[in-house]
């Protein structure tokens, strides 16, 4: 079954959930702020993003800017970065969709369609 990490007040997350329902995909929705993905789950998404940590981050988020992650990220070890992200769901690009053979961050309907067919 698919797992959708989402934030209730996020338009992209709501569009993603609606898209999944309309496409007939069963999924469990998990609140990303309260229950962020584990480091292992984030590692799976990171691999799907060709190891680009920046693409896994919510770079427009307040927490990202407040922590100065733009400057820190290039110097962090992958394990350190994943631990930081899994400890603060606000830092993660959302929504995140995980399932058998599926690992996506950010809602792009064409990419999601391709990954789920």
Say yes or no to pLDDT of 54 above 90: yes
Full domain range(s) for residue 109: 2-116
- Mean pLDDT (the chain) is 96
User: What's the token pair of residue 60?
Assistant: 């427009």
CA quadruple 75, 56, 30, 79: dihedral positive or negative? negative
pLDDT tens column, 78-105: 999 999 999 999 999 999 999 999 999 9
Closest alpha carbon to 4 in 87, 103, 85: 103
The pTM for the full model equals: 0.94
As for how many domains the chain has, the answer is 1
Say yes or no to pLDDT of 117 above 90: no
Strand order in the sheet with 2-6: 27-31, 2-6, 96-99, 102-105
Say yes or no to pLDDT of 62 above 90: yes
**CATH for 14:** 3.40.30.10
Residue % of the chain over a pLDDT of 70: 100
Distance CA 94, CA 55 (A): 10
């Amino acid at each position: 079954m698919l797992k959708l990490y989402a934030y209730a007040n996020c338009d992209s997350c709501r569009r993603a959930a609606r898209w999944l329902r309309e496409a007939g995909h069963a999924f469990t929705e998990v609140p990303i702020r309260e229950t962020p993905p584990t480091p292992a789950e984030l590692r799976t998404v990171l691999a799907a993003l060709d190891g680009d940590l920046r693409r896994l981050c919510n770079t427009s988020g307040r927490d990202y800017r407040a922590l100065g992650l733009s400057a820190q990220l290039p110097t962090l070890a992958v394990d350190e970065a994943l631990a930081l992200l899994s400890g603060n769901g606000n830092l993660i690009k959302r929504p995140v969709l995980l399932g058998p053979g599926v690992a996506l961050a950010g809602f792009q309907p064409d990419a999601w369609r391709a990954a789920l067919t």
